[in-house]
Amino acid sequence: MTAAAPGLPETSPPDTAPLLAVESLDVVLGRGWRATQVLSGVDLAIGPGEIVGLVGETGSGKTTLARTVAGLVSPAAGQVVFEGTTISALRRGARRAERRRGHLQLVFQDPLRSLDPEMTVDDIVAEGVTLQGQADRAEIRRRVVTALGQVGLDDSVLPRTPGQISGGQRQRVSIARALATEPRLLICDEPVSALDASNRNYILRLLEQLRTSLGLSIVIISHDLSSLAGIADRVVVLYRGRIVEDGPVDQVFAAPEHPYTALLMASAPSVRHDRELSPRQLTRTVAEAGELPEALLAGLGGPDACVFAPRCAFAAAACTVQPPLAAAGEHRRAACHRHSEWLTLARGRAARGQLTHHRLTTDGQLATEGQLR
Amino acid sequence: MTIDNLKSPDLAAPGLPPTAGAAPDTVSRPAPGTSDLLSLDDLHISVHHGAATAIRGVSLGIRRGEIVGLVGESGSGKTLTCRAALGVLPAGCTIDHGSMTFAGHDLTTLSRRGWEEVHGSHMGAVFQDPASYLNPTITVGHQLAEVLRVKLGLSRRAAHQRSVELLSAVGLHQPEHVFHQIPAELSGGMLQRVMIAIAISCDPELLVADEATTALDVTIQAEIIDLLRRLRDERGLAVLFVSHDLAVVAELCDRVVVFYAGEVVESGPAAEIIERPRHPYTRALLEVASVGDFRRRELRVIAGQPPPVGADITGCRFAGRCPVAADACRTGPIAPVTVGDQHEVRCVRAQEAWSTGELAAR
Amino acid sequence: MSGNPPRKVTGRSFLRLPSARVAIVVLLGIAVLTVFGSTLAPQNPLTINANALFQGPSAHHWLGTDYLGRDVLSRLMAGTRLSVLTALEAVGIGLILGVGPGIATVFLGRWFDFAANRLTDALMTLPYVFFAVAVTAALGNGLVQAMVPVGILLAPFFFRITRAATLEHSRAQYVEAAELMGASKLHVVRVHVLRKVLPTIAVTTASMTAAALLAVSFLTFLGIGVQPPAPTWGGVLSSDLDYLNQAPWAPFIPAALIAITIGALNALADAFRDRRGAGALAAQPDPIIATHSTLEPADDDRQSQVA
């Protein structure tokens, strides 16, 4: 289940127990009539030294998944197993003790909120180690300096508060805080979403380097693929609380098995205009919906239907039932009834010449994509 | 493409002073697409009550129906420039030098009433976080209708109807239903569409979008970009699109203006700048920008950091980070050089060709 | 731990406010009177002079004399101690009873919070005057005894305000981050919450002191807790009102003293609250001019180390 990660000193054998195993996770938030099912039947395994990208839009449940793994939310069904311990079943003292071990750390999205604005960087990074209660002051200081060094910061930031350093540095301090307890697994919630392209790449490279030098496993949660392309070994795509696709990143990008994955790829802005498909070819417009029979349309919008059916351009009668997450190739899974057909259909739509967009040429005339090349 | 529904500003409108020297009856209507709708010329803006000059010599123009992208790192001055053009500079900022004209009218000396006239009717704006610009306790439809009643004097019923039309025009399904929803019930993408509806409700000629898609999911971002393009095509709306993401700008814009440390370092047609960037900073930005084929992705970084706002630097402000900087770059101010049709670069080495390998990070 | 709270900013800028400066001067004066009032008084506040009743302000008696010919200025100065100290006593009681539970209730679970809130609701409905009367009837007439119920009835305010401030800070994401690293509630309070709640408590204390002072004045005005002929502000005011015909100007003097002191306390509280808020805002980077708070370039030459 764990793909061999490029750059690792040795390949992890396929039957190694996973570092983190999420099993049939159901999470419901809210109470009574306001309860909503945020995650349904999520199955996930992270091996040692793996970088896994977890992708989903707002409402996909990706942040809830991170919070459930971290123990901030209790699952309605299923469990989370980390290093052999079912951490989702721990409570209070046992949970605190497990957290103090510091093997699983969370890096939050916005360092302005996740770092105490009145604490110095020194204290912030030291907090996790201090809580372990075993190191003396000298050792704590050593660990802090080491962690800061691992993210490329030197001692000069120690006495400063988060407001006194730049945004990129803040994000690195946030990562350093997680590294100070020498974790095995790092879960990063949108670590680069608030950064510009250069900083984004810098942080991603940093994470990759941490994986290589420390053997860390990293889960990167993001709403778009560009945040993890280049360093992720595997990608897991979430939509409305369900995994719709996962697999080795190269294979998924080369030939996605689920239309939503393709939609994510098609939506990503690019300077090279080298995308194969456009969002219009993958989503169902209102006009096209009008062409479908009433009964089918109602079925596709029903509670048992595939979660992506309301938007999908390729939804058919079979899609009125949620497809299971089934194997779709080696080490790949996809939840789509038509996973071997829709890509061909999409390419057909593209070939039939749906114009992607217009642009003005220098003399003020409308030009199509082709004219500009 | 029909652009004859555009209003031309009436010289007799209160609050809009005519450009000096123009006789009232010889106003030349700017022909669509040739002369500038909004023109900024050699703008210098200081901040913190004159403590630092944040914008130096910024010149840019946007024509009717054109989509112009302002791109650059944060602190580069692109947002400040937009705010100056909109007349909403923060306290402590002053325009020290230069001119701003909108359809021939001088904006630097515009009175408060003049700005009230301009806002909404001639220039609309959308910003990054739509939820913070909407009253959370009032339905979005009523907030939109309020604008119509105040600015256009429409009756309640007419405003309601027009609001629903506008909500539909920005791509919201079931606009009648959305009208009665409060901001908390709508997603980020829908809220941004509402903001766009408000911004275009009085038919402005120019829409300023400052990081309008930065906080949105990538699929929604693509839809909003599509919407802006459609608005331009259908209404002849000119768009000034500000973003730190060159990829988004490349997707949407006809022309690109690249900002660095308070200056415009390159400006020209988007296609040309993407294919053949002339300024080392633009080339660096391209190297790090997202690419569509994720497999080909290498993670490049631009080393170093931009100078502090208002720093006093002789010569090129990028020289400290530029991999091909020469002595000539540091001797004196760098003047823009024309390297193509409406393509200008502020670089002494613009005419030379150098290898891609020299640029961006190791 | 090498902590370094940036409180310097608020201290300096707070004193720049003119209202704060005036308030501090006034309160320093009151503090001096509290300690040295009796000795500083120009004349004996208890000396009766039948020949000099209801005199207006003069060189000998700066604020005139009362219905027994006693020097008003001396009475007020001597009376400061009792009034102010008992007001502080009430505030102290309220602080101790209110702040601790206010912080604890956020962390002790829903049932404790429910119970504490209901108790607070009940206490807030009680009028302190009747409560004070009841206590003095039971424990004997003395101002110290009378201020105990006032203190108890101030506790709910301390409780509510402290609870609100604690709630706000306990929901911060950095608190969640600390909990994820295994922090106990005690650690969270000690390290992250307490420091941030203290300014709110300080502001509340100033306001509550003003309220307690008003309560003292009112109680002594009514004669509760007063051991005549010991002077108190409220007592002087009360007797002045009895003799309004003979000396119509007289009540204004103690009333003004009470009002000025209370005003100074409230001004101090306001200034501190405003400046603390402004200081916190000023510490944030300006989003438009300087740099966007989150979209920022990473820093320096260290970047080259990342291969």
DSSP string, B246-285: HHHHHHH-SEEEEEETTEEEEEEEHHHHHHS--SHHHHHH
Instruction: Determine the 3-state secondary structure of B343 from DSSP.
Output: strand
Band of the pLDDT at B229, cuts 50, 70, 90? very high
Q: How far is CA B351 from CA B28, B281, B333, B339, B346, in A?
A: 37, 15, 17, 7, 11
Residue of C nearest to A179 (CA): C181
ipTM of the complex in this document: 0.82
Can you tell me the distance from the alpha carbon of C10 to that of C7, in angstroms, rounded to the nearest whole number? Answer: 5
pLDDT at residue A358 tops 80: no
Tell me what pLDDT residue C111 has.
Answer: 93
Supply the pLDDT for residue C7.
Answer: 40
Which residues from A are below 8 Å from C292, CB to CB? 167
Cα dihedral C216, C222, C223, C224 sign: negative
* pLDDT score for C120: 93
Please state the rounded mean pLDDT for residues C273-284: 58
Contacts of C286 in chain B (CB under 8 A): 90
What three-state secondary structure class fits B99?
A: strand
> Considering the domain boundaries, does residue C196 fall inside one?
yes
pLDDT tens column, C81-113: 888 888 899 999 999 999 999 999 988 889 999
Chain B residues in contact with A358 by the CB 8 A cut-off are 229, 233
B153-204 pLDDT, tens digit each: 999 999 999 999 999 999 998 999 999 999 999 999 999 999 999 999 999 9
> Is A122 in a helix, a strand, or coil?
helix
Buried residues in B269-295 as b, exposed as e (16+ CB within 10 A): bbbbbbeebbbbbbbbbbbbbbbbebe
Q: Is residue B163 part of a domain?
A: no
Residue ranges of E strands in chain C: none
Cα–Cα distance for residue pair B284/B279, rounded to 1 Å:
9
Contact A362 B342 (CB under 8 A): yes
Q: Which of B48, B74, B213, B259 to mutate to test the interface with C (most CBs of C within 10 A)?
A: B74
Among A127, A132, A171, which would you mutate to test the C interface (most chain C Cβ atoms within 10 Å of its Cβ)?
A127
Q: List Cβ<8 Å contacts ≥24 apart for C11-20.
A: C13/C275, C13/C278, C13/C279, C13/C282, C14/C271, C14/C272, C14/C275, C14/C276, C14/C279, C17/C271, C17/C274, C17/C275, C19/C267, C19/C270, C19/C271, C20/C267, C20/C268, C20/C271, C20/C272, C20/C275
SS3 C20: helix
Q: Are A43 and A333 in contact (CB under 8 A)?
A: no
- Better-predicted residue by pLDDT, A357 or B324: B324
Structure tokens at A262: 């393709």
pLDDT band of A286, cuts 50, 70, 90: confident
Least confident of A329-338, B128-137, C221-230: C221-230
Q: Name the CA dihedral angle for B311, A198, B218, B122, rounded to a multiple of 10 degrees.
A: 20
CA distance linking residue B63 with residue B30, whole number of Å = 9
Q: What is the pLDDT of residue B297?
A: 63
What pLDDT sits at residue A14? Answer: 52
DSSP label of B306:
P
Residue percentage of chain B with pLDDT more than 90: 55
What was the pLDDT predicted at C218?
A: 85
What is the pLDDT averaged over residues B45-70? 91
Q: Residue C77 domain-assigned?
A: yes
What pLDDT sits at residue B312? Answer: 83
Round to whole Å and give the CA distance between A273 and A254. Answer: 16
CB contact under 8 A, C296 and B74: yes
Per-residue pLDDT, B203: 93
Determine the residue of chain C that is closest to B92 in CA distance.
C289
Domain count along chain B: 1
pLDDT, mean of residues A90-102: 90
Q: Give exposure, C258-281, as e/b (b: 16+ Cβ within 10 Å).
A: bebbbbbbbbbbbbbbbbbeebbe
For chain C, the C-alpha Rg in angstroms (whole number) is 25
Judge whether A132 is closer than 8 Å to chain C, CB to CB: yes
Average pLDDT, chain A: 85
Exposure string of B10-46, with b = 16+ CB inside 10 Å and e = fewer, is ebeeeebeeeeeeeeeebeebebbeebbbbbeebbbb
Query: How far is the C-alpha of C246 from the C-alpha of C64, rounded, in Å?
Result: 13
Side chain identity, residue B145: A
Query: What is the enclosing helix (H) or strand (E) of A29?
Result: strand A20-29
Number of helices followed by number of strands (H, E) in chain C:
11, 0
Per-residue pLDDT tens over the stretch B93-122: 999 999 999 988 899 888 999 999 999 899
Mutate to test the interface with C, among A131, A137, A153 (most CBs of C within 10 A): A131
Reading phi first (left if > 0) and then psi (alpha if -120 to 50, else beta), residue B42 is in left
| Residue C82: predicted pLDDT | 83
Contact present, C202 and C208 (Cβ < 8 Å): no
Average pLDDT over residues C57-81: 85
* CATH number of the domain to which C67 belongs: 1.10.3720.10
> Is B174 near chain A, with CB under 8 Å?
no
Q: Does C5 touch chain A (CB under 8 A)?
A: yes
Question: Structural domain of residue C175, as residue ranges?
Answer: 30-41+61-282
d(CA B308, CA A137) in angstroms, rounded, equals: 37
Domain that holds residue B72: 36-122+204-358
**Beta carbons of A202 and B360 less than 8 angstroms apart:** no
A167, A172, A209 member nearest C295 (Cβ): A167
Mean pLDDT value across residues B81-96: 92
Distances, alpha carbon C221 to alpha carbons C70, C88, C216, C234, C240, in Å:
18, 18, 8, 4, 10
pLDDT per residue over A101-155, tens digit each? 999 999 998 899 999 999 999 999 999 999 998 889 999 999 999 999 999 998 9
- Which residue shows structure tokens 């740099």? C291
pLDDT given at position A42: 94
What would the mean pLDDT of A330-341 be, rounded to a whole number?
A: 88
Which position has the higher pLDDT, A189 or C244?
A189
* Amino acid making up residue A367: A
Least confident stretch, A357-361, B159-163, B317-321 = A357-361
**In this predicted model, what pLDDT tens digit does every residue of A219-273 receive, in sequence order?**
999 988 877 878 899 999 999 999 999 999 989 988 899 999 999 988 888 887 7
Complete DSSP assignment for B225-253 = HHHHHHHHHHH--EEEEEES-HHHHHHH-
Q: Which helix (H) or strand (E) holds C99?
A: helix C72-104
* Pair of tokens at residue A18: 């996973």
Q: What local confidence, expressed as pLDDT, does residue B176 receive?
A: 94
DSSP state string for A184-242:
SEEEEESTTTTS-HHHHHHHHHHHHHHHHHH--EEEEEESSGGGTTTT-SEEEEEETTE
Closest partner residue to B248 (CB to CB) among A269, A358, A366 is: A269
What does the pLDDT average to over A299-322? 86
Residue B180 is assigned to a structural domain of this protein: no
When mean pLDDT is compared over A315-319, B170-174, C68-72, the highest value belongs to B170-174
Task: Specify the pLDDT at position B154.
Answer: 93
State the CATH number of the domain containing residue B276: 3.40.50.300
Nearest CA to A82 out of A91, A72, A71 is that of A71
Q: Does A271 contact B286 at a Cβ distance shorter than 8 Å? A: yes
The CATH superfamily holding the domain A20-254 is P-loop containing nucleotide triphosphate hydrolases (3.40.50.300)
Share of chain B above pLDDT 70, in %: 86
Q: Label residue B294 by pLDDT band (50, 70, 90).
A: low
Q: Smallest CA–CA separation between B172 and chain A, in Å?
A: 11
Tell me the average pLDDT across B33-54.
86
Position A283 scores a pLDDT of: 85
Contact list in A for residue C186 (CB cut-off 8 A) is: none
Mean pLDDT is lowest, of A34-48, A198-212, B36-50, C282-296, for C282-296
Instruction: Collapse the DSSP code of A139 into the 3-class scheme (helix H, G, I; strand E, B; otherwise coil) and give the result.
Output: helix
- Residue A227's pLDDT is 78
Among A98-107, A113-122, A289-298, B74-83, which stretch is predicted with the lowest mean pLDDT?
A: A289-298
Among A114, A115, A132, A213, the strongest candidate for a mutation testing the C interface, having the largest count of C CBs within 10 A, is A114
Residue C146 pLDDT: 80
Query: How far C1 CA lies from chain B's nearest CA (Å)?
Result: 32
pLDDT of A367 strictly over 50: no
pLDDT value of position A297:
83
Average pLDDT over residues C174-199: 92
Q: What is the mean pLDDT of residues C240-244?
A: 86
pLDDT: is B170 or C278 the higher one? B170
User: Is residue B122 within 8 Å of B19, Cβ to Cβ?
Assistant: no
In a domain, B345, yes or no: yes
Q: Are A198 and B301 an interchain contact pair (Cβ–Cβ within 8 Å)?
A: yes
Residue A61: which region, alpha, beta or left (left: phi > 0; alpha: psi -120 to 50)?
left
Chain A residues with beta carbon closer than 8 angstroms to that of B217: 57-58, 223-224
**Segment B231-238 mean pLDDT:** 93
The total domain count for chain C is: 1
What element of type H or E holds C214?
helix C194-222
What is the model's pLDDT at position A254? 86
For residue C14, pLDDT over 80 is answered with no
Query: Is residue C7 assigned to a domain?
Result: no
CA dihedral A163, A166, A168, A173 (to 10 degrees): -50
Q: Between residues B148 and C40, which one has the greater pLDDT?
A: B148
Residue A9 scores a pLDDT above 50: no
- The pLDDT assigned to B291 comes to 63
Contact criterion met (CB < 8 Å) for C5 and A196: no
**Is the model's pLDDT at B239 over the cut of 90?**
yes
Nearest Cα to Cα of residue A334 among A342, A320, A324: A324
Q: Answer with the residue of higher pLDDT: C14 or C59.
A: C59
Q: Does C181 touch chain A (CB under 8 A)?
A: yes
A135 part of contact set with chain C, CB < 8 Å:
no
Q: What is the per-residue DSSP string for B49-91?
A: TTTEEEEEEEEEEEETT-EEEEE--TTSSHHHHHHHHHT-PPT
